[in-house]
Structure 1
Amino acid sequence: MMKKYMAAALVSIMVLGAFTGCGIGGGKDIGKDAALEAALNDAGVKEEDTTRLKVSEDRDDGRKTYEIQFDVNGKEYEYEIDASDGGILSVDTEMIPNSAAQNNTQDKNAAGNAGSGGSQTGQTQDGTGDAVQNSSNVAISMEEAMQIALERVPGATARDVKIELDFDDGQYKYEGDIIHEQREYDFEIDANTGTVLEWSEERR
């Protein structure tokens, strides 16, 4: 008799385990590492070549997904990965207007023009690629503004920064963000005084 009770209990445990394994309302989760690998493989890049890497969890119509963002060679990638099977639900890529490589090239060109008698404009670009401003109109350079922001994030470098000069409410200011070690920092800096106007931090 005892054996029958034990057998019944064992069957109940196995059935319960099967339902739990099937994940009623739960489902299989490949994990952040596998989701990141799927995105990197699709982009054809290695993790060590990326900057501003950010992996976060999300839910879309009850389905768990991973949102993955990273920069490589002046291009920004954004992926949405299905957490259950690693399928790519969406991918978006765009050139970064003010990548570090582009800024260095612009600085060298500007310096060359100044040395040959030309004027150094030091123009930056907004999200549409249009020139926003002549650097002679502001007291703080983009590089100086970048350093002001980086001083607040130990370990971060210029490769982790996205920044642009904007004119809003009659005031020139640098707007941008830093992504470092899965944290995103958004900032606004007065382009004439170097004062940090806004600073926020978001854990992803």
Structure 2
Amino acid sequence: MKEGIKMKKLILVPAAGLLLFGGIAFANSNEGTQQDTQLQTAVVETAAVNSEKEKIGFGKAEGIARDIIDGQMTDIELERDNGKQYYDIEMYANGYEYDIEVDAITGEVLKNKREKENDFDDDDKKAASTQASAQNGKAYGAVKISAEDAVKAALAVVSGEVEDVELEHDDGRVYYDIEIDNHYEEHEVKVDATNGEILEVETDIED
């Protein structure tokens, strides 16, 4: 009888050890899950705080880009990446395109890159590119109002947050194509870049 009891004790000890180990593993698993949840919550809260902070605005971002590149702004878009907001700005000057990123909260320049000049091995392609560059230069030279003024004109007819401002030219007319979102509707407003006239307003209802 005594030996039988001893054997049972020997069997029970490893079992208890397994239960104890399992409890530790379960606790560690819970702790890891809590840490992941806390990290995700922190990221969301950071994104919310950054979203609530006052942004410098399209006008100031455009001005910062112009201080770097003496040229014409052709596109400016509010981007979001991992809770950080910045303006992605494209500039055109002397036949080159520049990509500039500006922090939407601090105004810090995050990126300033000139696109490489095309190395054409075909004279026709090179001539076509030169002609297109000349047309762009002529169209952009006709611009009389800034992107900031165009945005003000657009927000006078629709409400929401400006997501993108792009300078376009078509059939001899140069205009700003502005995208505005108010969480319920997406607006696309075209503003004449020479006089600020509203050319067109399109609205899509979000699902």
What is the TM-score of this pair, normalised by structure 1? 0.41
TM-score using structure 2 length: 0.40
**Which structure has the highest helix share of the two?**
2
